[in-house]
Amino acid sequence: MTSERLAVGCHLSTSDGYTAMGETAVSLDATTFAFFTRNPRGGNVKALDPDDVSGLRDILQAHGFGKLVAHAPYTMNLCSANADTVAFARRAMAGDLERMESLPGNYYNFHPGSHVKQGADVGIELICAGLNEVLVPGQATVVLLETMAGKGSEVGRSFEELARILDGVTHDEAMGVCLDTCHVWDAGYDVAGALDEVLDEFDRVVGLGRLKALHLNDSKNPLGAHKDRHACLGEGHIGLEAFRTVVNHPLLKGLPMILETPGGMEGYRREIALLRSFAGEAPSDSAGALEGVEA
């Protein structure tokens, strides 16, 4: 396996440790993956085992993995109207970024947050203030703003909102964007019928140099629904051919592509194989059975 293969993978659980995540990824023929840095619905976090982390680093090197895309907990809201929630978000992000330095050079993805009736302008100001507090000059981890579907009071529903956040961050060299296909579709960007135009608009507003990773998800909703309900590839309104176009698009070449589809581990295995076939790649000899692994 070489680093020239498609960097595609899925979201994995940390419950059995970091080395186990790497082993599961290899069994799925993945060459990247995502994982929650702490309890996704709370704030709990396990202490890192240096030997466990070292075991994962060895797997990543041996099997030619691309960059990993860690995910912040869903409860983290940098632009909440509640001061305690904002304070927790800043502490959690600072702690997560410190822990991510044990896997240097990877990505930390987060949902920008919900302004909770304060308005997008206030939300963006709070997000920038939080990032400016926690980002450290010279850190090895790049923080990614995830594109959002625009449900409720979500910030990040447009490329313009993402650009405003990036413009307000002092250490913007540590920042990038993760484009979620379901989210941008639900936000009104036609990644199925007009991907080139969407990427042109992203480049004009944000800059393609900021695009560091992709979440590949079909959508259960029609274009512009602002609802955010993921579907397995080819089982939603975006459609399978759109993902063939994505994995072969020259402007997206080399970016880590993370599946967050609802099909479980065997679904991930099938979709990883499907995406590799779209890219003209044969399965790896390292891929194997998933004994005892739960979705």
**Domain coordinates in residue numbering, the chain:** 8-278
How many CA atoms are closer than 13 Å to the CA of 23, on its beta-carbon side? 15
CATH class of 8-278: alpha beta
Inter-residue contact 159 to 202 (CB < 8 Å): yes
Tokens (6 digits) for 9? 């993978």
pLDDT in tens, 204-229: 999 999 999 999 999 999 999 999 99
Check residue 4 and give its pLDDT.
Answer: 82
The parts of the chain modelled with pLDDT lower than 70 are 1-3, 286, 288-295
Check residue 209 and give its pLDDT.
Answer: 98
* pTM for the whole structure: 0.94
CA dist 143 and 71 (Å) reads: 10
Residue 215, sorted as left (phi over 0), alpha (psi -120 to 50) or beta, turns out to be beta
Check residue 40 and give its pLDDT.
Answer: 82
Counting other chains too, the contacts that 114-121 makes at CB distance below 8 Å and 24 or more residues apart are 114/77, 114/79, 114/80, 114/152, 114/153, 114/154, 114/155, 115/79, 115/81, 115/153, 115/155, 116/77, 116/79, 116/80, 116/81, 116/82, 116/153, 117/81, 117/153, 118/79, 118/81, 118/153, 120/155, 120/161
> 176 to each of 97, 144, 214, 236, 248, how far by Cα in Å?
15, 5, 11, 28, 22
Q: Name the nearest CA neighbour of 198 among 237, 235, 245.
A: 245
Check residue 295 and give its pLDDT.
Answer: 32
pLDDT in tens, 145-172: 999 999 999 999 999 999 999 999 999 9
